[in-house]
Amino acid sequence: MTQTILDKIKSYKLDEIAADKAERSFEEVTAEAKAAGPVRPFAESLHKASREGYGLIAEIKKASPSKGLIREDFQPAELAAAYAAGGATCLSVLTDTPSFQGAKHYLTEARAACDLPVLRKDFLYDPYQVAEARALGADCILIIMASVSDAQAAELEAAATDFGMDALIEVHSAEELERASQLDSRLIGINNRNLNTFETSLDVTRKLSKRVPPDRIIVCESGLHTPDDLAAMAMFGARAFLIGESLMRQDDVEQATRHLLANPLTAGGM
């Protein structure tokens, strides 16, 4: 059976975790996490912004497995400041190196450059990574249901809660959404990108949004490029968005962010 991109990522990620644990103990990383300072309100900020307009998680992303290098001039602190000035609600920072050319220190640099809450965008399998995320300064973690068991998802969410962090639960199918709904997190990320093929379709959000419990916040992810895309998804109840590539390709990131958020579809227009 041919390995998918997700399979390959999981394989090397488990090796990375083992190497990190050999270098620094869980107790040491946990102590750093507890000393990391106040957690910024990720889910609450998105909730508030999505009631007034759109909530945007703006992503700092250098490359991807499907597109290769996305942005050559890559300065995480400058990009974070530009996103904040453009009206983003939160940040997402890729910390995976082999597939996305990310780095752990990018998160720390980005968070220090602005006041926005930050998501550690990575493939998490172990509570060690959650402690590490908080030690780096992350305010939220990503849990990808396609890549973890129900027990792992619950364990990661519990670890995040212990540190006062939020968790964005990412789904790609009705079956994954059903599993995610058993968790406590308010944030349900509907990823329009198939993690096996990396193809995108906004129809994923159109179909799954109807099944999301009413007490959850839908975060529409991937395949979003224009204000019309956001308005189309808002018609299906998604008023929070995670956008990286389309903004990362712009010369003026601040202006592109401001333009994207300028005329949100009002709740009354839905």
DSSP classification of residue 200: B
Residue-level pLDDT at 216:
97
Mean pLDDT, range 241-264, rounded to an integer: 96
Residue-level pLDDT at 192:
96
Residue-level pLDDT at 270:
44
Residue 225 has pLDDT above 50, yes or no: yes
* Sequence spans of domains, the chain: 5-261
Residue-level pLDDT at 195:
74
pLDDT more than 70, % of the chain? 98
Mean pLDDT, range 9-16, rounded to an integer: 96
**Is pTM, for the whole model, over 0.85?**
yes
Cβ-contact 153, 123 below 8 angstroms: no
Say yes or no: domain 5-261 is CATH 3.20.20.70.
yes
Helix axes 127-136, 5-23, angle to 10 degrees: 70
- Nearest Cα residue to 154 out of 131, 189, 135, 180: 180
Mean pLDDT, range 139-154, rounded to an integer: 97
Each residue's pLDDT tens digit, 82-137: 999 999 999 999 999 999 999 999 999 999 999 999 999 999 999 999 999 999 99
CA–CA separation, 10 vs 75, rounded Å?
A: 27
Residue-level pLDDT at 6:
86
